[in-house]
Structure 1
Amino acid sequence: MAKHDLDPNYLDPNYEPVVNHTENTPFHQVLSARMQRRTLMKGSVGAALASVMGLGLAGCGSDSNDGTTSSNVSSTDIGFKAVPTSTANEVVVPEGYSTEAFLPWGTPITGSYPAYKPDGTNTGAEQEQQMGMHHDGVHFFPIDLKAGGNSSSEGLLVMNHEYINQGALHANGATYVNDMRPADEVRKEIAAHGVSVVHIKRDTNGKWDIVFGSPFNRRITGNTEMDIRGPVRGYSKLITKYSPDATETRGTLNNCAMGPTPWGTYLAAEENWHGYFANGDATQPREQTRHGVGSSSRYDWELADSAADQYVRFNVSTIGATAADDYRNEANTYGYMVEIDPFSPESKPQKRTALGRFGHEGVIFAPAKEGEPVVCYSGDDSRFEYIYKFVSSKPYYAATAGGYLLDEGTLYVARFNDDGSGDWLPLDLDDADFAAKVAAAEGTQVGDVQFDGFENQADVLLNTRLAADIAGATPMDRPEWGAVDPNSGQVYFTLTNNSRRTEEQVNAANPNANNRTGHIIRWSEEGNDHTATSFDWDIFVFAGEQGTETVVDDEVIVSLTDDNIFNSPDGLWFDYNGRLWIQTDGSDAAPYQNNMMLAANPETREIKRFFVGPEGCEVTGVVSTPDVKTMFVNIQHPDGNWPDSSDPRPRDATVIVTKDDGGVIGA
């Protein structure tokens, strides 16, 4: 079906249909019991918020220009003057800082290094050798990392490419002939997805550039061969025509955030993968319905006119006599964290199924400790979904650590209690409590699913969302990026927003749907042990407008000011000194204007706006060199022909930020 026949919402690659209809206690109800509420939106708004979802907690607005909070400057102090909000089609940073656009979409990085063509006529084969589209999560690996080094002048910059802009990608946008797509357009779109690995180096003048001809330069796309690893490997529900033994698949898609592992590899998250598949069957299996797979796909790749197998696979309807004769199970090979070794360009990416299958936003690791399990966290970026934790069965030893540590362990889901405590609920059939809940749920309706049990642990992980429903996890407001404070060990997660409020309910005090501004939650694991099964939580900050006050236990914690208003926190990262960087993907209406990045002191809750992106963009993905003197910030889906006004097409790009005096970013 052509896109003009679809629900227009489904064309939005960020469209996340609400597919959790269980009756677990919503987080906003827990929060109401947890926190005393007194919030006023001051100024022209002049009205009290109707619920806690519009509060702002933390992020002290500072009136000082030097950003320090005491005479003793610590590594987490914020030493720049906050920049104002902006509507300009340019990047704004504080006085004393400089920026440069780097590695825009279409930049040749490997193979024959085909040049980018501003008229949109690059072929699919050429796009497979160029930077992908819609830059997102990013990490810098020092070139000497494997030797124990921490170079800040040379390394591998690895980043995700979440989705595409068909209008910019092709000369005349996506085209159809008799409702079929030209095969090379489809090839190009698939190639614009995935991951780029780029060997970069800074010269003696401080300028960064690609190391052309480096064997490390690499593209992983939506068609790259990959292995299935972990408990779901070989499971019958992953059998396809391509892999009758259910051990392989092709490609990774809709990669949003990421996570560097303690052993120097890169995990790419598969988030809104459901929209790439089409199922025309009268009924769909729970593995698809619980994620929102529809009768038509977002880009119609299954309609490529060549009918090549690499495109037909996006039709997950029942066509053949058995699962080995068609691609009814192809969607079951997506929804995982994908491990890529940037230092081994010939290595095959691995889908790590023990971490669960859902709408992974990213993954964040707790500090690895010799002889102890590996622990990592991941959010399911959709409304009313959950936060997860994985604890490996095998211990970490630096000398031998590798991806195998992610193939065996326990996956937990979070329950936030109303007294400020929390529990990690194991999704493991060997756990007596979980097994009892599964047994009790059999034969009942769990949300929209008539639950008939789990065949085995592989089935539990394949249906992670359903397992979390049954376990009794707390539905959250779009859990996105996570970060672990390197100083305190506390874990932070952004809860971007929850648009349950309809457009018809919008009013002056609520210019967007319900909880359009979002918040950030944090917790401390019991005993500061990241393997613990209980924790204590609080709210670090609620985003909001100027004058938003939050009162906890009769004390005003913060009042947001012009220096730090923001909405829809998304990206989150602690730098190597312990400053917290917050990126936004929200409304570009007043008073917030263009999306931005702010710096926060986790100790004092001071927050200041550091960076504002160009028109129409999401500011997403941030990392620095180990010395924190070069920062890389990704700009996704910009408008207005940024970064080159002479180019007829906007291009996603990485922004390099440096301090003019060569100092530490943010200090």
Structure 2
Amino acid sequence: MNSKLNKEHIVIDGNPPEPCANHSDNRHFADVIQTRFSRRAMLQGSLGVGAVAFLGGTLAACGGSSSSSRPGGVGQPRLGFDAVPAGRDDTIKVPAGYTARPFLPWGTPILGSMPAYMADGSNTGDEQAEQMGSHHDGIHFFPINGSSEHGILVMNHEYIDRNVIHAAGPSARPRPLDEARKEMNAHGIAIVEVQKGANGEWELLNNGLNRRLTAFTEMELAGPVRGSDFVRTAYSPAGTHTRGTLNNCGSGFTPWGTYLISEENWAGYFHLDASIDPVPRELARYSVTGWQNYHWYDVEDGGAPIDDAFTRFQTAITGADATEDFRNEPNNFGWIVEFDPYDPTSVPKKRTAMGRFAHEGVVPVPAVVGQPVVFYSGDDSANEYIYKYVSNANYAEGMTGDDLLDDGTLYVARFNDDGTGEWLALDFDDVDFQADMSESAIKFSSQADVLVNTRSAADMRGATPMDRPEWGAVNPNTNEVYFTLTNNSGRQYANRANPRVLNRTGHIIRWKEAGAPAATTFTWDIFVFGGRDVEHLKGYVPSTGQHLTEENYFASPDGLLYDESGILWIQTDMSGNQQAGLTADGDFGNNAMLAAIPETGEIKRFLVGPMDCEVTGVVLTPDHRTMFVNIQHPGDRSQPGNFTSNWPSEIPGDRPRSATVIITKDDGGVIGL
């Protein structure tokens, strides 16, 4: 996510967008859309019948789901609130009848010595390791004893704003060691025990379950890449362990009660040294080619030796082989990481069978005993791909990630003009994989090679490049899959048939597998196009033939959650200029969260965030009466001492802090209905 949208977005301090690294000639999804949908048909509303028809009537089937699985016993749901108007206030806006309260902002003490948050930004690096991290993102609620009022909140801390996190902004290079330590400890994951008190307010507990995972935390490598030459370093000559997780965006969970962390824009943390020549594809295809943001490798500590926990971020050849330096350190990132939030001693495991790329998130399909487990993930960079992991073993009660996440098949999607699609196996032993490789200049030596170089394998198989695939969500009643394509301003298709020139406002696609979730073919359509004012960018719902209105227009969709009530929650990540109405796309106000009923096309704006924030990460308690939403980087265009937001404080001049928002219905009812 991290506000890396289009060339009109001026990155002040956050992670810059990854340079486009896909130079394959694979047919782009834009071409598929041009063939599938004409501009004239889209604008005249004649897609409605066809969009439903080629999904085989699944939209109607959605409405026939049993109401017993939906909180409150509802049948086909309708949104039970008035839409919130778009706006540009430095506060949280929710519908009448709802209350939103900030909770667990950056710097909140959660463990250890419980160091207090210092409003002047003077907390040390060691103190940050015992506090909530920065830039809250993916989030999940793990009930304790099945409770909706007592559980463990686990959330990602994607990145930082150095102009906000330090008292006076970042120092020049070489950087003070403790500044780098603070930044590294502000990344990662927070695990906090929470409980709803007698007064109805949620509170933080400290009973031994609270924990931080940071850029320093030791992690195990698991799956086919473990022990391979690609991941051997001076820290782990055997290639079995590494340190830390970075740029954690969306998240997921498993049916056995563990949390899944995605590693997204990790490439920008590494400085490529001139000693790496030629640059191997496992670096070049992932944009580890010189762009760098934090410079953690370039620090000083009064002349004292610098620990390799920092210097490893310079990718260089300094030893006789890879076991004597950190030339392979970037290969330890780009994975899905699993850990047990109920066990504060558990060692996180990087599940390499699920592929290496810029994981925006990891989306589980509801598990069924006797069938494989299935997860989807998008590679959030311009012109990258959508993937699916299918375990080789069938799920049974008592199984864990060691049984199901280290041995499976990774697939990549190809979307066809006729509304069909197929999953292409990225399996070294697969007959079709070998046949494609025999005709390609792209070669692989093993499954470990395929997984470390997932993007190259997808290039070779002919996957469909997409417009920045981000979060996904699965309808829990039908297994229909929804995925956000946030935008792709770097693509300029101006021919007559293309309805989305530049695609600056994005859209949401959906597909239905041909049978069980592990199927290798599917049918697809577009659920909604983002947009507002400019004719060719108008928001549009193909299945209903309706344009978006004042109560539901949006741009740059990102986060998704499909809840058991039948509501699809859509979060947006517009650039600063797009939020400010300074682009040709129209005025959308601040980033927001909308609620949609895909069966009917009903969409309403539910929440509007504060200034310069991203609305990202959402989860409900099992009874759907409490919602947790993350607000990331309010005031992300701030300069030291000149903050463009003060949220969640109401005091002018206070520095902005990412935080979770707790939303409840004033009558105690189910959220959204």
TM-score (norm 2): 0.87
C-alpha offsets along residues 259-300 of structure 1, whole Å, 9 cap, x if unaligned? 011111101100000000011224311111101113252100
What residue is the counterpart of 1:287 in the other structure? 282
Q: Secondary structure at the match of 1:159?
A: strand
Supply the distance in 1 between the matched residues of 2:129 and 2:217 (Cα, whole angstroms).
Answer: 10
In 2 relative to 1, CA 277–131 (structure 1 residues): closer, same or farther, beyond 3 Å? same
CA contact (8 A) 2:609 2:631 kept: yes
What runs of 5+ residues in structure 1 fail to find an aligned partner?
Answer: 1-6, 43-71, 443-450
Question: Which of 600, 603, 613 in structure 1 is aligned with 2:609?
Answer: 613
What residue is the counterpart of 1:589 in the other structure? 580
Cα offset, 1:76, TM superposition:
2.9
Superposition map of 1:10-89 within 5 A: 12-38=14-40, 74=75, 76-89=77-90
Question: Which of 294, 297, 301 in structure 1 is aligned with 2:292?
Answer: 297
CA contact (8 A) 1:352 1:406 kept: yes
Cα offset, 1:340, TM superposition:
1.5
Aligned residues with identical type, % of pairs: 56
CA contact (8 A) 1:498 1:513 kept: no
Amino acid at match of 1:589: A
Count of residues in correspondence between the two structures: 608
Cα offset, 1:513, TM superposition:
8.4
What runs of 5+ residues in structure 2 fail to find an aligned partner?
Answer: 1-8, 45-72, 582-586, 636-644
What residue is the counterpart of 1:96 in the other structure? 97
Question: Which of 623, 634, 657 in structure 1 is aligned with 2:663?
Answer: 657
Amino acid at match of 1:25: R
What residue is the counterpart of 1:60 in the other structure? none
What residue is the counterpart of 1:563 in the other structure? 551
Cα offset, 1:648, TM superposition:
2.3
Supply the distance in 2 between the matched residues of 1:16 and 1:578 (Cα, whole angstroms).
Answer: 35
What residue is the counterpart of 1:261 in the other structure? 254
Q: Which has the higher mean CA deviation after the structures are superposed, 231-240 or 27-36?
A: 27-36
Q: Secondary structure at the match of 2:164?
A: helix
What residue is the counterpart of 2:450 in the other structure? 460
Question: Which of 178, 194, 197 in structure 1 is aligned with 2:191?
Answer: 197
Supply the distance in 2 between the matched residues of 1:205 and 1:237 (Cα, whole angstroms).
Answer: 54
Q: Secondary structure at the match of 2:439?
A: helix
Amino acid at match of 2:271: A
Question: Which of 278, 303, 311 in structure 1 is aligned with 2:271?
Answer: 278
Cα offset, 1:574, TM superposition:
0.9
Supply the distance in 2 between the matched residues of 1:606 and 1:551 (Cα, whole angstroms).
Answer: 9
TM-score (norm 1): 0.88
Superposition map of 1:84-483 within 5 A: 84-144=85-145, 149=146, 151-176=147-172, 179-212=173-206, 214-281=207-274, 282-295=277-290, 297-306=292-301, 307-442=306-441, 451=442, 453-483=443-473
Cα offset, 1:9, TM superposition:
6.1
Q: Secondary structure at the match of 1:482?
A: strand
CA RMSD of aligned residues (A): 2.3
What residue is the counterpart of 1:539 in the other structure? 526
Cα offset, 1:205, TM superposition:
1.4
Supply the distance in 1 between the matched residues of 2:164 and 2:38 (Cα, whole angstroms).
Answer: 48
Amino acid at match of 2:656: P
Question: Which of 607, 628, 646 in structure 2 is aligned with 1:641?
Answer: 646
Q: Secondary structure at the match of 1:656?
A: strand
What residue is the counterpart of 1:490 in the other structure? 480
Supply the distance in 2 between the matched residues of 1:576 and 1:130 (Cα, whole angstroms).
Answer: 33
C-alpha offsets along residues 459-484 of structure 1, whole Å, 9 cap, x if unaligned? 00000000000000000000000100
In 2 relative to 1, CA 39–101 (structure 1 residues): closer, same or farther, beyond 3 Å? farther
CA contact (8 A) 1:41 1:545 kept: no
Amino acid at match of 1:580: L
Cα offset, 1:73, TM superposition:
6.5
In 2 relative to 1, CA 103–233 (structure 1 residues): closer, same or farther, beyond 3 Å? same
Cα offset, 1:549, TM superposition:
6.8
What residue is the counterpart of 1:49 in the other structure? none
C-alpha offsets along residues 536-594 of structure 1, whole Å, 9 cap, x if unaligned? 00001111115837596xx9611211011000000000122121000000120332010
C-alpha offsets along residues 599-639 of structure 1, whole Å, 9 cap, x if unaligned? 00021111000000000000000001011110000000102
Cα offset, 1:455, TM superposition:
1.6
Cα offset, 1:38, TM superposition:
2.6
Cα offset, 1:402, TM superposition:
3.5
CA contact (8 A) 2:540 2:548 kept: no
CA contact (8 A) 1:137 1:621 kept: yes
Supply the distance in 2 between the matched residues of 1:41 and 1:211 (Cα, whole angstroms).
Answer: 53
Amino acid at match of 1:185: E
